Structure 1
Amino acid sequence: MARLNTLIFLAVVALSVVALIDCLVTDRSRLQSFPRSAWVVLILLCPVLGAIAWFRSGRVTPGVPVQAVATPIGPEDDPDFVRRMAESLRDR
């Protein structure tokens, strides 16, 4: 039982250390959601959940598109709509 507890403890420490180092060396432009200081505090106070949260949503991963907020476009911004309107006005 003591060996299992030691193994779990070492795994938690390793996960936290890797997450903390990754957080500290990540470029500021790749940070997402919170500032770096908030991530460091979260990783230190909640080692397992903070590290998992960091790897899941703390940084922008290369090759994975960032979800953009869809902005509504007006009809005048849609070239097909403008073309169809022009054709319908010409047909009158």
Structure 2
Amino acid sequence: MLRYLPFLLILALWIYAFIDCLNTPENQVRGLPKIAWVFIILLFGEVLIGPVAWLVAGRPRREHAGGSTPSQWHRDHRGSGSGGKWVAPDDNPDFLRSLKDENKKDEALLKDWEADLRRREEELRRKEDGPSDGEGNNPPPKG
């Protein structure tokens, strides 16, 4: 069983490097074009040169301690025009404006639902009261 362990570790590293390379956006790959890295990983995977080269030289660098999260990193580095500075949601005027707009839509929807509920309640009351004698008084029960 232990004699298969080195082969399995090499295979795992090979697969990890290949999938990581495929999932990395083209504009974040360092050194060579992405397609070149894919071929290097596939051709030199069995001797560990390809996967190790990808992890050392081709993979994008990310900040760790005190740095941004990967989603923030992608947002900051895709050229969104925000100056590359991450802004907290409670300081972002676009986000706050979108909250106000959603709140107005929700309030309008709630008012419509309340009006519909009142209308349905009135219809039910009229049906339950039955026919009236024209003056709003119900006829006496038969019997």
Same fold? TM cut 0.5: yes
Structure with a larger share of its residues in helix:
1
Structure 1 unpaired stretches of 5+: 65-92
User: How many pairs were matched up?
Assistant: 62
- Please state how far the C-alpha of 1:5 moved relative to its aligned partner: 3.1
Structure 2: state its 5+ residue gaps. Answer: 65-143
Bigger radius of gyration = 2
Write the distance in 1 (CA, Å) between the matches of 2:18 and 2:4.
21
SS of the counterpart of 1:13? Answer: helix
Distance 1:44 1:4 in 2: 25
Q: Deviations over 1:17-74 (max 9, x none)?
A: 000000000011111111111111111111111100100010221128xxxxxxxxxx
Aligned AA (1:53): A
Counterpart of 2:23 (choices 6, 22, 25) is: 25
What is the TM-score with the length of structure 1 in the denominator? 0.62
* Residue type of the alignment partner of 2:13: L
Two-structure CA RMSD over aligned residues (Å) = 1.5
- Identity percentage of aligned residues: 39
Q: Which residue identity lines up with residue 32 of structure 1 in the other structure?
A: R
Counterparts of 1:1-92 in structure 2, within 5 Å, are 3-47=1-45, 48-63=48-63
Higher relative contact order (CA 8 A, sep 6+): 1
Distance of 2:3 and 2:21 partners within structure 1:
27
Deviation at 1:16, TM superposition (A): 0.3
Runs (4+) off by over 3 Å: none
